[in-house]
Amino acid sequence: MNALGRHVLAEIYGCDFDILNDLKKVEEIMVNAALEAGAEVREFVFHKFSPQGISGVVVISESHLAIHTWPELGYAAVDVFTCGDRVNPWDACKFLTEQFNAQHVDAKEVERGAMMPSHRQAVNF
């Protein structure tokens, strides 16, 4: 790896309202996404907004997973940042997409702390 970390930015569309608006469910899915990717979970914090929406972060030994949801739009903005080459951020993104019952995902990877110019890779699930 020529970079210190991999940062996947995902736009997740067509998600289930009831899932994106359930604090405990989003928390559970995000923690399990980290585990699915092979990460070591350290801490997590989530907040539910009124009338809807959730923001949260899962701190992992390898960096973090973060989410902001707009249930009324069926949309979630997610980022998964991992350092080292043991954890695959794409595994976490795929898990989230499946668990949110998403219809479409637009995601890209950004190399962080690259030793040479950054390369971007766009991917659709």
Q: What is the full DSSP assignment across 40-102?
A: -EEEEEEEE-SSS-EEEEEEETTEEEEEEEEGGGTEEEEEEEEESSSS-HHHHHHHHHHHTT-
64 is catalytic: no
Residue 111 identity (one-letter amino acid): E
15 is catalytic: no
Q: Considering 7, 15, 63, 93, which one is annotated as catalytic?
A: 63
Residues 6+ apart with CB under 8 A from 35: 41
6 close to 81: Cβ distance less than 8 angstroms: yes
- At 55, list the tokens: 């923001």
68 is catalytic: yes
Q: Considering 68, 93, 118, 119, which one is annotated as catalytic?
A: 68
Q: Considering 7, 15, 64, 83, which one is annotated as catalytic?
A: 83
What is the set of active-site residues?
63, 68, 83
